[in-house]
Chains A and B, each alone.
Chain A
């Protein structure tokens, strides 16, 4: 009886040009999330600008290693784009390949970050060693938590794709996950610039 009725107020989530509630919700979440990074970055900027002593980042941090890591993350964004377009055309094999590559990119990023943390902590830098250490670990750690949740999110989708879901014209699950992944990537570019390079 209930199956007969339809919700005529709901937009039909078929074309990518037409935003589904899921996509709108994700965009709004990204605004929120951007502002939480914004709060941390305001704190970072303010503390750094008033601090009498602030080390030159390159004297403490391994810039080439992190540049490589940045490259890895950007590549994972590219593979995410390929996964989204494959999902749209219904090419299940490609979706699995590119989504898998994206997850691998995320894991690679996290591993390099873990190595970097280990290296820095054994060198004496920690959350409580200085404001440089405090802001560094808070910002990169908060971002790392986002990458980790992204890896979990994409892995869940990958399992779904392997089980035969989420692929095909009109299903925006992978596209929505892509929005999150690109956002995490974009935030990293900002953090890499402000924390490592400037």
Chain B
């Protein structure tokens, strides 16, 4: 630990590549996440092609990707596609974007620190993540192709007998490395939040984004090591024939495939919250900023998020209702799962309370934040059916599950990330994005996205299994073929719409309008410092005088916000008090 000022590095390598500056590392993570988001999106479109037009050659790219089968997707290829799509999206797209990029950007800036507590570890965290991404992307090119056991990699499917290729081993190695990177980040985040808050920045003055990111880091610290242990055992099973998860690997041995499922979901369920907590926090802050109101029930939101963290550690069994879990245990897991709906409802109520009668500014970031409120509502409500044993047994492993978790993960977390990008892009890069293009991007994302995931709920209710290669091979599923094609067309529109975003970002980086320090008239500390912030963020570490969402205070004249760093309302020219009659009557 060095507590002295560091001179700004000058070389290209130390400034751009091996930078220890949290803002640069944030950009690196953002780039990594967006690249993998693109790759994962392409894989999704290939999956959708097979479901809409089973066995037909994929247009344009098929002849290059699937030359052995004349452009059509083989069953093995399809299995690989959905395995890698899930893995990439969860661990290499939304994790780097939300936690890597915005964790790094927001935490030091929002709590008034000069950098993370351990800048070197922070740099290492990114480069290990990059290495893990290279291993995963490289696994496409080894003999036998990439992993094929589903993103959950249940043994014996992920064992050496079922998937003998190197790809599955590289998958496990890559996830192990990703876990190491995540842990380095999480240790850094929690230490930074505990130790480096500016004077006056009590826990209940921290913005909710920091709450969400910090709580996600706590969950990472507790549960990533468990999946790391499971992955270590899986790797040993594959390369040293240890037989932890495969029964009868040695004569008389009783390796246990269910053990992997337990270890996987002990981590896997908190992982869902690891991803959604930062999104919740960011949305809570953004709704307040763009409704020009304090966040409704600020403390209740923070406490609800914390209690979800606690509850999320004891509900993992709801992923395993159909594996032959003892019914008593299943009921316990069901009751605990249902308890989560209480703090979730608190969050939801508080969001609605925040926007209720606010002076809403429909900036692009706000549109995406409102989008999260809607799609997370959909994800949460459909989750109830999967948390209850009786309905889950019917819906398990159907497209309903796919629709549900895409509403929570793909839709909520992705919208949260996009809201964050639109909100903090001016701070990160010092340039404004074009709001018209951004609104176009929102509507061409929001509408097709619902057309993609809502019909999946219906198909699943109709009994369509997930991970199905050839839907028309079952007579009762033929009727869903038009629906499958509708989803695929909507997915194509959704994919193409992202080009608007890419164009907007490229145009802005090249020729965007320069961003002022505080373009959104927000109140948290990152808006005090110039855009982009200088090396070490602040000239002088600010004193924090108030909570994070002080909008529309009646005692602050002339403007509807007062920054956390302002001890009192700024001096304003004498203005005659507004006539008290008409405007209020309108408001009531």
Q: Interface of A with B (CB < 8 Å)?
A: 2-3, 5, 7-13, 19-22, 24-25, 28-29, 31-33, 35-40, 42-43, 46-47, 50-53, 127-131, 134-135, 138, 142
Contact = CB atoms under 8 A, between A and B. Distances in A.
Contacts of B259: 43, 46-47
Given A10-B196, A40-B229, 14 more contacts: A7-B541, A9-B113, A9-B196, A10-B195, A28-B191, A32-B187, A35-B223, A36-B226, A38-B226, A39-B227, A39-B230, A47-B254, A47-B255, A47-B256
B263 interface: yes
Contacts of B252: 52-53, 130
Contact of A13 (B3, B118, B222, B227): B3
Interface stretch (B50-58, B234-242, B563-571): B234-242
A32 B230 contact: no
Contacts of A47: 244, 254-256, 259
22 contacts: A2-B7, A7-B3, A8-B199, A8-B541, A9-B113, A13-B1, A21-B1, A24-B117, A25-B117, A31-B221, A32-B183, A37-B229, A38-B226, A39-B226, A42-B226, A47-B244, A128-B241, A131-B244, A131-B255, A134-B240, A134-B242, A134-B243
A35 B222 contact: yes
Interface of B: 1, 3-5, 7, 112-114, 117-118, 121, 183, 186-188, 190-192, 194-199, 221-230, 232-233, 236, 240-244, 249-250, 252-256, 259, 262-263, 266, 540-541
Contacts of A129: 250
A9 B197 contact: yes
Contacts of B262: 42, 46
Contacts of B114: 7
B222 A25 contact: no
Given A5-B540, A7-B5, A127-B241, A51 B254 contact: yes
A127 B233 CA distance: 11
B225 A32 contact: yes
Contacts of B541: 7-9
B164 to A, nearest CB: 16
A127 B242 CA distance: 5
Contacts of B229: 36-40, 43
Main secondary structure on chain A at its contact with chain B?
A: helix
Contacts of B221: 28, 31-32, 35
Contacts of B226: 35-36, 38-39, 42
A28 B225 CA distance: 12
Contacts of A29: 183, 187
Contacts of B253: 51, 130-131
Contact of A39 (B1, B121, B228): B228
Contact of A22 (B1, B236, B241, B255): B1
A25 B3 contact: no
A36 B195 contact: no
Nearest to B192: A21
Contacts of B244: 43, 47, 131, 134-135
A138 B241 CA distance: 12
* Most chain B CB within a 10 A radius of its CB, from A3, A24, A25, A29: A25
B82 to A, nearest CB: 27
Contact of A134 (B190, B195, B236): B236
Contacts of B3: 7, 10, 12-13
Nearest to B201: A9
B103 to A, nearest CB: 15
A46 B225 contact: no
Contacts of B191: 21, 24-25, 28
A55 to B, nearest CB: 11
A10 B253 CA distance: 55
A40 B244 CA distance: 11
A124 to B, nearest CB: 12
Contact of A138 (B199, B225, B233): B233
Nearest to B542: A9
B113 A128 contact: no
A130 B250 CA distance: 6
A25 B194 CA distance: 10
Contacts of A50: 254, 256
A136 B407 CA distance: 43
B240 A127 contact: yes
Nearest to B222: A35
B233 A40 contact: yes
B232 A142 contact: yes
B198 A25 contact: no
Nearest to B228: A36
B196 to A, nearest CB: 6
A32 B185 CA distance: 12
A86 B259 CA distance: 47
Given A13-B1, A36-B225, A43 B233 contact: yes
Nearest to A24: B191
A130 B229 CA distance: 19
B108 to A, nearest CB: 11
B112 A9 contact: yes
